[in-house]
Amino acid sequence: MEILATTVWGMERLSMEEVKELTGRAAEMEHKGLIRTSGNEEDLLVLNHLSRSLHRILMLIMRDEFSSLSELYDKARAIDFSSYLAPELSFAVRAERIGSHNFRSMDIEREVGQAVIDSYRSATGFRLRVNLDDPDVIIRVEVRHNTFWLALDTTGKDSLYKRSYRVYKHPAPLNPCLAHCLLRLSKWTGSKSLLDPMCGSGTICIEAARWANGIPNRGDYALWHLTFLNHQRLKHLLVAMESVIRHEKLKIRGCDISDKHIEGARRNTERAGVMVDYFRCDATKIPLDSDVIVCNPPYGLRVGSRRKVKRLYAAFIENLARSDWERAVLITSNPQLMPVKSNLVEVQRLAVMYGNLPCTVLVMERA
Ligand SMILES: C[S@@+](CC[C@H](N)C(=O)[O-])C[C@H]1O[C@@H](n2cnc3c(N)ncnc32)[C@H](O)[C@@H]1O
């Protein structure tokens, strides 16, 4: 089967690398924020359960061209949805549209939704239930100009980036999937020491510890509603994945200037079932001595003003330049406020979108 996976805009290469590691299968970029790979039902579970950079795992049903909404209806109507959905399940269609059309995403959802109902009724005599708020299964449609794809969302209502450990809510939290991508860029492995000197609620440290210990995602994936999959085989695989979870304490440290955030990071870390050392610090003053530094400083939007952020960046980069580390990865929406230092070499610069906010990831090494 063809599998599509949504990911952080700008981090597709790292997600493709992750897919290859988890399933052994090559992945390619479909477009920004979306990659594709091939696989079987076990791969659907592996990617939902163990991927850290992916948002959603979709099982492709159809990919085609079309020229009008009624043609889209006809193509969707030709799919036998009774082979995918059991009659007791509710469904919803969610559509995204890119290009200039004389219809809206809502119209796509309505037409394809009707096509699903009609196809199901003609195959089984049964009218499938629509539930727009809390469907058991989401059918995703993406229209790009005159092409479309239609897929079953095997992840479900909540994207994989919603991690269940977030009991403390920071005002400017990092997307955990993006945090994972920063860790990949940092070349951190469990044997190296890691420091996040502005850790907030601890996302980067927690993601590192979860990754190194093989701790999986939530488990409540929509694929458990898809009865055409072999659940007995999937449950065996689940047991095998759970059996390799470790609970090792690694050299991971996080610090923040705020006691409140440190306390919150500790709560999140405990909930995540991992161990991280936290302490209060001023990241412009403590020695940043660690093999790897990964950091998400304030952008001056939700936390701190632009002027303060400029001063903070200047002092932080000074401190970075005099500290002892191998590789540092920083993410900011204000890279122009980061001063250049002669003994810091920028080895990579990536553009990413964090929600609607364009951000830059800077990867640095020492000269
Ligand atoms: C964008 S937030 C980090 C959010 C974090 N990545 C998360 O997911 O929760 C930036 C953090 O930097 C901290 N901070 C600001 N100035 C600092 C300084 N001089 N030293 C240490 N931490 C600082 C803030 O308290 C804030 O929690």
Choose the residue to mutate in 261, 302, 354 for probing ligand 1, maximizing ligand atoms within 8 Å of C-beta: 261
Do 6 and 96 lie in a common domain?
A: yes
| 173 C-beta closer than 6 A to ligand 1 | yes
The per-residue pLDDT string of the chain (367 residues; one tens digit each, 9 = 90 and over) reads 999 999 999 999 999 999 999 999 999 999 999 999 999 999 999 999 999 999 999 999 999 999 999 999 999 999 999 999 999 999 999 999 999 999 999 999 999 999 999 999 999 999 999 999 999 999 999 999 999 999 999 999 999 999 999 999 999 999 999 999 999 999 999 999 999 999 999 999 999 999 999 999 988 999 999 999 999 999 999 999 999 999 999 999 999 999 999 999 999 999 999 999 999 999 999 999 999 999 999 987 655 588 899 999 999 999 999 999 999 999 999 999 999 999 999 999 999 998 889 999 999 999 8
Domain count, the chain: 2
Enclosing domain of residue 17: 2-153
- Domain CATH for 8: 3.30.2130.30
CA of 263 to the centre of ligand 1 (A): 13
Assess contact for 93 and 112: CB atoms under 8 A.
yes
**Which ligand 1 atom sits nearest the alpha carbon of residue 201?**
9
Residues 192, 316: one domain?
Answer: yes
Range 29-35, long-range pairs (CB < 8 A, 24+ positions): 30/4, 31/144, 33/6, 33/7, 33/8, 33/9, 33/353, 34/4, 34/5, 34/6, 34/7, 34/142, 35/4, 35/5, 35/7
203 lines ligand 1 (CB under 6 A): yes
Count of beta carbons in the 10 Å neighbourhood of residue 109: 17
The verdict on the CB of residue 284 being under 6 Å from ligand 1 is yes
Question: For ligand 1, atom 19, which residue shows the shortest CA distance?
Answer: 282
* Neighbour tally for 66: CB within 10 Å: 16
Look at residue 301 in the predicted model and tell me its pLDDT.
Answer: 66
Say if 169 falls within a structural domain: no
Q: How far is the CA of 283 from the centre of ligand 1 (A)?
A: 9
Residues 116 and 79 in one domain: yes
Cα of 74 from ligand 1 centre, angstroms:
52
DSSP 96-148: EEES--SS-HHHHHHHHHHHHHHHHHHHHS--PEE-SSS-SEEEEEEEETTEE
Report which residue type is found at 235.
K
Do residues 322 and 189 both lie within one domain? yes
Residue 113 inside a domain? The answer is yes
pLDDT digits (tens, 9 = 90+) for 81-137: 999 999 999 999 999 999 999 999 999 999 999 999 999 999 999 999 999 999 999
Give pLDDT tens digits for 6-17: 999 999 999 999
Ligand 1 touching residue 130 (CB < 6 A): no
Q: Does 312 contact ligand 1 (Cβ within 6 A)?
A: yes
Determine the Cα–Cα distance for residues 40 and 222; give it in Å rounded to an integer. 16
Q: Which residues contact 231 (CB under 8 A, 6 or more apart)?
A: 224
Residue 351 lies in a domain: yes
Q: How far is the CA of 115 from the centre of ligand 1 (A)?
A: 49
Residue among 56, 93, 57 nearest 76 (CA) = 93
Q: Using a cut of 0.95, tell me whether the model's pTM lies above it.
A: yes
Does residue 313 share a domain with residue 184?
yes
| CATH assignment at residue 252 | 3.40.50.150
Residues 138, 13, single domain; the answer is yes
Tokens 């003609």, located at residue: 122
By the 8 A CB rule, do 121 and 187 touch? no
Q: Provide the CB-side half-sphere exposure for 342 (13 A, CA).
A: 0
> What does the pLDDT read at residue 307?
86
Within a domain: residue 263? yes
DSSP tag of 81: G
